[in-house]
Copies of this chain bind each other. A is one copy, B any other.
Amino acid sequence: MTVKTKTASGYGLRVSDHRVDESGDSDKRSPTARRMRADAVKNRARILAAAEEIFATEGVSVPIDRVAEKAGLGVGTLYRHFPTKEALFEAIVVARLETLLETVKAQREATDAGEALFSFLRAIAGQASAKRDLFEALGSAGIDIKSQCSEMMDEMKRNVDVLRQRAVDAGAMRSDVSTEEMFGLVMGACQASEHAGSEAASQRMVEIVCDGLRSPTATPLPGRTS
């Protein structure tokens, strides 16, 4: 994941008392661990909200103090909840990826293989457009995405690859483009539209990529309908 700043790398993660992020989100916790104090719960949520907005608009490289400030909290508090800037970022990206993962899985039910794939690509763009954080993370190909993210990315890729293969088989998409490349193109499209600002622009850009992905020359294999 490697947050842009070089500094972040190789500092050694702190080993202090983060009883917070035991597994899932917000509130649920194993019976042994004590209950989180009410203010802590609220503040954690604030941090996530602030980070989400700031990372989205200004990219991952914003100083963490800005996030703390936006949340109306001190940096210390922020670090009590997330041991690392990267951990905070990851928490946000994971949430987004979860949404996308659901979308992919839903599309596996679709009958039109081509539409299934392309509408998923549009969904990615929807999640990523004007969210610098996301496409900074994904655009860099997940080469160095870590831990939770990397597992999710793998799962996502597997799922998307199914969609892709079906679309290829159905003759709805050219066969010489890998899933990674597809991701890259879509992220590129998002980035291309960033300056335009509007969500509409990014959808238009993605549409262009989709058009490029449909193999204009290949004709649907005989014997298949969708």
Contact = CB atoms under 8 A, between A and B. Distances in A.
Contacts of A194: 141, 184
B184 A192 contact: yes
A195 B187 CA distance: 14
Interface in A148-188: 174, 176-178, 180-181, 183-185, 187-188
Give the one of A6, A192, A195, A196 with max B CB within 10 A.
A192
Given A208-B213, A210-B212, A211-B212, A187 B177 contact: no
- The SS class assigned to the A binding surface is helix
A176 B4 CA distance: 34
A191 B141 CA distance: 9
A189 B185 contact: yes
A211 to B, nearest CB: 4
A190 B61 CA distance: 22
Interface of A: 4, 6, 61, 63, 139, 141, 143, 174, 176-178, 180-181, 183-185, 187-196, 201, 204-205, 207-213, 216
Given A183-B192, A188-B192, 13 more contacts: A4-B4, A6-B61, A141-B194, A174-B208, A176-B204, A178-B196, A184-B188, A184-B192, A184-B194, A185-B188, A207-B212, A208-B212, A208-B213
